[in-house]
A and B are shown apart, each in its own frame.
Chain A
Amino acid sequence: MKILILNGNPDPNNTLFEEYLADLTEEMHALDNEVRQIKLRDLNIRYCTGCWGCWVKTPGKCVFPDDSQEVCREYVHTDFVLMASPVKMGFTTALLKKTQDRLIRILHPYVDLVENECHHHRRYDEYPKNGLLLERPQNIDDEDIQIMKDMYSRFSLNFKTELTFFGLTAQDVKEVARAIDNI
């Protein structure tokens, strides 16, 4: 399985998180997966201005050619995307959200009705399954975790897929690697 890890940790000094993802990558390699980790903090990514240029001026591409192109290309050629982030203020980081916002170009502006609710139409035939891995600080409760699960389930629904994995970095790394491998 081809796996893409979007590392949304903005702080290089958070070594525990970085080491966990390095170990996870190694474990998933050992299970015969092709894994690529993108450290979002190392990329030059602007925020989405909602100009809709990616729908009407350069369809499928953003009018601002930055490193988000690489993320989008990888995204549509992957079987599984693991969005990995420390939790800040009860939510995944702004860095990860900035990248997610820029994925809008891989959807159409057209509208589909899903259970009488409007959603964007797919631009590509297939989209990867999604997973969410969080570093949970002590002051986060189960309600916060549920909000994030709900959020990423909505994100997955919008991106024509489903949230198939949820994990915390407090879990054993081998266990997480096996769970993802079984998807």
Chain B
Amino acid sequence: MTHALLLVGSPRGKKSTSTSVGSYLLNILDKKGLETDTLWITRQLADDEKLSQMLNAVDHADIIILTAPLYDDCQPYIVIRTMEAIAAQRKNLGYKRFIPIINCAFQEPEHITAVAISIYHKFATTVGFKWAGSLAIGGGEMLQGKSGKTLDEIGKMARKVKKVLERIADALAADNSFPDESVRAVPDFLYKPFMKKVLAWMNKYDWKSRAKKNGGVVDARPYSQ
């Protein structure tokens, strides 16, 4: 039986967009008869035994799906650390299919496709994984993974992302690859330059009031002196 392993690379752990997106895809694969497993990288990096457990899971999987956020237009530390560990071990990795599914808070998936996907691609080639396609999700915060919600729970907002994930599941279950794709979680009308300016203004107001609630000054410059 084909075995799909989901590695969740969000430093936020279970309550993250990476979890909600990955779980949605894995549930479909499960229903299609694939054997599935999920590991949260935050937990697996806790000690050597857990790291070794994660590397063994990679060894035994046929499909490796890595879901992760973008930090400074790049992989977060825990993902780079995992990639280093997989590359250092490098055994039984040939012919496994590798699929990175990356989300960023900003609306534009271009933050992801600018360089991060190339880094994942290089990693896959280096360790001998077969590149089976990638997905860049712009506006990942709109999917509310931080609050622990599933894609089904947030309704219409997840519609576009779910559609692409369903297509990816079909391809994987049929032993196929899929093209590198990108999707914007935000509704299209919010992507227009004028609406982006409106959102930026609203975003500033929101951050200020959230900091104020905690008694902080959002504009503080603690390292000025």
Q: Which residues of A contact B83 (CB under 8 A)?
A: 89, 91
Cβ–Cβ contact A47 & B78, under 8 A? yes
The proximity string for B residues 182-225 relative to A, scoring 1 for CB distances below 8 Å and 0 otherwise, is 00000000000100110110011001001101101111111110
Cβ–Cβ contact B197 & A106, under 8 A? no
- In the bound complex, CA of A98 to CA of B197 (Å): 32
- In the bound complex, CA of A176 to CA of B12 (Å): 40
The number of residues on chain A lying at the interface, defined by a beta carbon within 8 Å of a beta carbon of chain B, is: 50
Number of A-B contacts (CB under 8 A): 154
B71: CB under 8 A from chain A?
Answer: yes
Of B30-38, B102-110, B149-157, the one with at least 4 CB within 8 A of chain A: B102-110
The number of residues on chain B lying at the interface, defined by a beta carbon within 8 Å of a beta carbon of chain A, is: 52
B164: CB under 8 A from chain A?
Answer: no
A94: CB under 8 A from chain B?
Answer: yes
Cβ–Cβ contact A48 & B218, under 8 A? no
- A sample of 14 inter-chain contacts (CB < 8 A) reads A47-B76, A50-B11, A50-B69, A59-B218, A88-B87, A90-B123, A93-B80, A98-B77, A100-B72, A110-B207, A113-B200, A117-B111, A154-B114, A154-B115
The residues of A with any CB-CB pair to B shorter than 8 Å are: 47-51, 55-61, 72-73, 76-77, 88-91, 93-94, 97-98, 100-101, 104, 106, 108-113, 116-119, 121, 123-124, 143-144, 147, 150-151, 154-155, 158-159
